[in-house]
Structure 1
């Protein structure tokens, strides 16, 4: 069966997350429904990573096996037409035919995420579901310095959800940078894989560093504690974006 790789964008606001669930609409379910409507085939669309309810995606990657050997651009356009008709907040940005050995999840070399904080006194109107609004002035340089304590190969027990299903809390974090552009603070994270709630846990802890409530040493101590209680409050999902996935052979 021909296998197709899709790059997908979605607004996570109306969904229970990427993964198909019984308690509400999902981005994965929207894509599978579009495939069914288009081809009559009941398929499983496999994603590169799960996102929680309210988390957005700019470059989620998924793969699907179909019986027909579609021209990629026609498949993209047809799926988008069905998604639009269904009123889904999902868009297929790109489709390409791939070898049977390609797996959106297991072939991934690195995943990239962005967390957005709007740091200003006034509440958000246009971006209320697109960023975390923080009123108190944040020191982004202090946040960045604290973030560097988390880069590298560590046991991230402190920064993962108690519901995380990963067998090991050990991960290698390749990048965790904090930068400011006006009132917008961006936290960018890159790794081969992440634990459940890891980036939102980072963001909540780094916010405390930006407020002066945690020092660089405190953040390092929290990491080394390997204790969920040492983590700052988990940041809301609205500011998190799944940006990109790297695969062998990609430019």
Structure 2
């Protein structure tokens, strides 16, 4: 039997998603909890690995098991065994042709910047603080240079293991909600540190240190050394993963609240 899960987590307590010897990881916590419910060893495959300190509104995983449990039993039993920083949101029995990583047609990330003079006492590790005023309109103008299919070499980490730097960016939407500037990004896939490097460039532009066309210049350079600072992990969230409709998986409510001009770029089953 193949099972798919949607998982939410606070990444500040973990050394990232992927299992690491002697270090707390989200994968290790999830596998330990599932193994307890299944009464057999469980190994999971995720839609996309997240780095240390990065959060998830909805990570998607799948696993195979001989154990027979009702979806409700998987949900409640696993959550009971998980640390409080991790929660399973939904459980679905799914066909064996589903793969959490390879069946995905797009990934959605959200980056949250607290843009005010003082840091937050309550959201220290859930947002990135930037005290200098940001011009979200300039950031949006800059982001438009990155829409479409491009070589994103200037925005990939030096140790990125992807075979190709080519990615298709469906949309980047920058907007302000009070003292927060939110950057929503959706692409077919992302390179290592790609979101944080894009946001780093956009923050330089929003601060007035660079002009919006600089984003296009950085992209065209195809050289990470031209790309500026990598934004911190604290404000980054894996927002959700898109799959073909025939898998009938839940979609995070965050998608219902995207602006209309962003929702129209949400990939369809045919992509």
> Do they fold alike, i.e. is TM over 0.5?
yes
Indicate yes or no: 2:62 matched with 1:63.
yes
Q: Which runs of 5+ in 2 are unaligned?
A: 251-271
Measure, in 1, the Cα distance between the counterparts of 2:224 and 2:100. Answer: 30
Equivalent position SS for 1:149 = helix
- Give the match for residue 155 of structure 1: 151
Deviation of 1:36 after TM superposition, in Å, equals 2.0
Deviation of 1:198 after TM superposition, in Å, equals 0.3
Deviation of 1:177 after TM superposition, in Å, equals 1.1
Equivalent position SS for 1:6 = strand
Deviation of 1:73 after TM superposition, in Å, equals 1.4
Equivalent position SS for 1:69 = coil
More displaced stretch, 68-77 vs 239-248: 68-77
Indicate yes or no: 2:3 matched with 1:4.
yes
Q: Residues 1-251 of structure 1: matches in 2 within 5 Å?
A: 2-83=1-82, 87-249=83-245, 250=248
Q: Which runs of 5+ in 1 are unaligned?
A: none
Deviation of 1:188 after TM superposition, in Å, equals 0.3
Instruction: Flag the 1:6–1:143 CA change in 2: closer, same or farther, 3 A.
Output: same
The TM-score normalised by the length of structure 2 is 0.89
Over 3 Å off, 4+ runs:
none
Deviation of 1:248 after TM superposition, in Å, equals 1.1
Measure, in 1, the Cα distance between the counterparts of 2:22 and 2:183. Answer: 31
Measure, in 2, the Cα distance between the counterparts of 1:176 and 1:208. Answer: 16
Equivalent position SS for 2:29 = helix
Deviation of 1:23 after TM superposition, in Å, equals 4.5
Measure, in 2, the Cα distance between the counterparts of 1:65 and 1:76. Answer: 16
Instruction: State the number of aligned residues.
Output: 247
Measure, in 1, the Cα distance between the counterparts of 2:21 and 2:153. Answer: 29
Measure, in 2, the Cα distance between the counterparts of 1:158 and 1:108. Answer: 24
Measure, in 2, the Cα distance between the counterparts of 1:192 and 1:198. Answer: 13
Equivalent position SS for 2:230 = coil
